[in-house]
Structure 1
Amino acid sequence: MPNPDGSPRYAPDAATLRRRLLPLLAARGPSGYEEEPVRAWVALAGEFADVHVDPLGSGHAVVNPGSTPRITLIGHIDEIGLSVSHIDDAGRLWAVSIGCWDAAILYGQHVVVLAENGRVPGVIGTAPPHLNDGDSSPKMADLWIDIGATSRADAQSVITVGDPVVFGASPVDLRNGRIAAPALDNRLGALAVLEAARAAAAASVTAEISVVASVREETSYHGAMGAVYATEPNFALAIDTTFASDIPEDGIEHKTGDHRLGSGPAIGRGAVTDEPMARSLRTLAKELGIPYTIEAYGDESGSDADAMAAVAAGIRCGVINIPIRHMHSSGEVADLADLASTIELATAFCLAGGTR
């Protein structure tokens, strides 16, 4: 079945998506330090659209500027991380959180300090569990970063307080078209909005399509707020990630909904989303045979849409989430088929001119 405007459907293949995703994963940057991933995103978007970086640092690409309706797709490009807060006499680095962390997963992790003069590898350390008097759950204040330094002066020769820190793991291809990597939350969404705009441009979309790699989602939503204020959309769609339910925890679907790897995008419904938009997304998915689930929100969605909806006189917002396992860890896992389905649905929404 063709797209709503009669154009051929976009069918991204996994190899192409993986090739375009890898440079976004290689470019590291937690909230407030997104320059490198934004540069990588802008380079990809510049292949088919007019691009710029706004004052807050978010990357923008525009297709068919000046047309109506105006549709904005936003995928945040920041990731969680740490920030060096202190260097002690022994050369150990102490850090504070950027975004939401579970300290229990950090012990022993390889990390990279994004220092001003280059990347510095390190390992998260704490007292061994054998010496913890029965308390084996480390807290953030118990963790330090070991870069092999022998003194404060040695560490200060390469590290400055305020330098950001990210997981050091590299992407790994898993079976069945799945990939494991840090920062899939939300380089997946950032790539999805870009590829939807690429496909819409190829199909000669009649609406104005603005896509944004937004900054600071993990901490403040500032990037998305500034972006929709600037683009003044009639419809805005946030594309992010959500918790996959196919893990061995009884009853997780009662908390998060049933969103398994391979089940397609999760379309958000709830207090912060525009119900006609959610209905249109579901209708398009059914008509085009795109697999999907529904994710219900009692209050906030936990995405950029929470802030976007309240900008200016109010923005009609929808949410599409891609399920991932092990969120906010060094080994987030996603199915590239879900990424492809998300892109196809977002493209169809653009070609349909938004809500019907």
Structure 2
Amino acid sequence: MKRRLFDHSELIELCEVPGVSGREERVREKISVMLGVEKSKLQTDKIGNLIFEKEGLANEKEVLLMAHMDEIGFYVSSLRSDGKLEVKNVGGIIEETLPGSFVQVFTKTGVVDGVIGAVPPHLKADGVAFEKVVDVGAKNRDELVELGIDVMDFVVFRKTFALLNNDYLAMRSLDDRFGCFTLIEVSRGVNPRSKVVFAWTVQEEVGLRGAKALASIYNPDLAIAIDSFACCSKQNAHIELGKGPVIRAFDNSSISNYEVAKFIVSLANKEGIPIQIGTTGGATDASVFVEKGVPMIALSVPVRYLHSQVEMINLNDLENLIKLLTKFLEVF
């Protein structure tokens, strides 16, 4: 098996930490520990972004580098009299993947296992329809209260992972924990030319809220988002797992700076790092800085089955992204 520059078990551990939009505190704490720096060097702003500033050799410019901590999931919106939990989607849930899912409810006192059930074919003929509720085995509302469950508790899919054919990791919340992991790895080893602000952001999945808060404080020379690239569509048939990191040339919210993109492609070619260029939908944290007149670029790895319970990346792509970003920060 190939020896990589990073330990993928650390990425798995980071993905396992629950943290829907607005409840990223566990992820923030995990990242703080993984960084291995003095707590005094870390900042947490009022909305919950985690910030680590690293001085450069020249400090002529400032680069803001972002990845979001939050994941899709649910909030408990109601405790029903029949013991079921009504839930509200957080982020872009793929509704057709919900039936037959294992979930976990995070309460003030602990974790409660549950399921989102499915309608068996035996009952569909009788007109029984799927209902998006969480079943934790409670008979009534009183039992839900006894379990410590309350409105505004959050729910995530129960996490598991698979390492496929040595190179492919499939797991829930790779979006965007692979980006968070990239920032951790880069911050550990890079000697940047410019000052770099590493920011692990909150509430990206519900409107780039954390990045918008950062935009009220920082006015960098370049904003970079490390986020997912949904591959394997007709639009992006040329983008494949295993063929290198991806420059998101443009998406629904922004256009990556042409000169910076060209420079990154030239740098990748010089260093022998494979690189891909594609377009996609969605938005990234870096897009909010365009309105401030800040050039941006979005970097990623191809992700198969994005926003599902089995998101998949190629670990070689991730390694090459870490290499490329490190080289870029050393010369920009």
Q: What is the TM-score normalised by the length of structure 1?
A: 0.85
Displacement after TM superposition at 1:177 (Å)? 2.2
- Per the alignment, residue 35 of structure 1 pairs with 25
Is 1:180 the counterpart of 2:170 in the alignment? Answer: yes
Is 1:266 the counterpart of 2:246 in the alignment? Answer: yes
1:187-226, aligned counterparts within 5 Å? 187-200=177-190, 204-226=191-213
1:208-258, Cα deviation, whole Å (9 max, x unpaired): 11111111111010111222433321111101111232xxxxxx2x32342
Determine helix, strand or coil for the equivalent of 1:230.
Answer: coil
Aligned-residue Cα RMSD (Å) equals 2.3
Displacement after TM superposition at 1:92 (Å)? 0.4
Q: Which residue identity does 2:178 align to in structure 1?
A: L
When residues 257 and 58 of structure 1 are mapped into structure 2, their CA distance, relative to the original with a 3 A threshold, is farther
Question: How far apart in 2 are the matches of 1:335 and 1:81?
Answer: 24
Question: How far apart in 2 are the matches of 1:152 and 1:74?
Answer: 42
Determine helix, strand or coil for the equivalent of 1:16.
Answer: coil
- Per the alignment, residue 307 of structure 1 pairs with 288
1:42-121, aligned counterparts within 5 Å? 42-47=32-37, 50-64=41-55, 67-121=59-113
Is 1:288 the counterpart of 2:278 in the alignment? Answer: no
Displacement after TM superposition at 1:54 (Å)? 1.3
1:221-260, aligned counterparts within 5 Å? 221-245=208-232, 252=233, 254-260=234-240
Gaps of 5+ in 2: none
Q: Which residue identity does 2:199 align to in structure 1?
A: V
Question: How far apart in 2 are the matches of 1:15 and 1:154?
Answer: 49
Displacement after TM superposition at 1:57 (Å)? 0.5
Question: How far apart in 1 are the matches of 2:125 and 2:67?
Answer: 44
Q: Is the 8 A contact 2:77 2:85 kept in 1?
A: yes
Displacement after TM superposition at 1:301 (Å)? 4.8
Q: Is the 8 A contact 1:234 1:316 kept in 2?
A: yes
When residues 156 and 132 of structure 1 are mapped into structure 2, their CA distance, relative to the original with a 3 A threshold, is same
1:290-332, Cα deviation, whole Å (9 max, x unpaired): 11110125xx65221222322xx32210011111111111111
Q: Number of residue pairs matched?
A: 325
When residues 38 and 150 of structure 1 are mapped into structure 2, their CA distance, relative to the original with a 3 A threshold, is same
Deviates more, 1:41-50 or 1:114-123: 41-50
Question: How far apart in 2 are the matches of 1:99 and 1:52?
Answer: 26
Question: How far apart in 2 are the matches of 1:130 and 1:14?
Answer: 49
Shift >4 Å, 4+ stretches: 133-138
Q: What is the TM-score normalised by the length of structure 2?
A: 0.91
Gaps of 5+ in 1: 1-11, 246-251
When residues 195 and 228 of structure 1 are mapped into structure 2, their CA distance, relative to the original with a 3 A threshold, is farther
Tell me the percent identity: 28
Q: Is the 8 A contact 1:269 1:294 kept in 2?
A: yes
Q: Is the 8 A contact 1:233 1:315 kept in 2?
A: yes
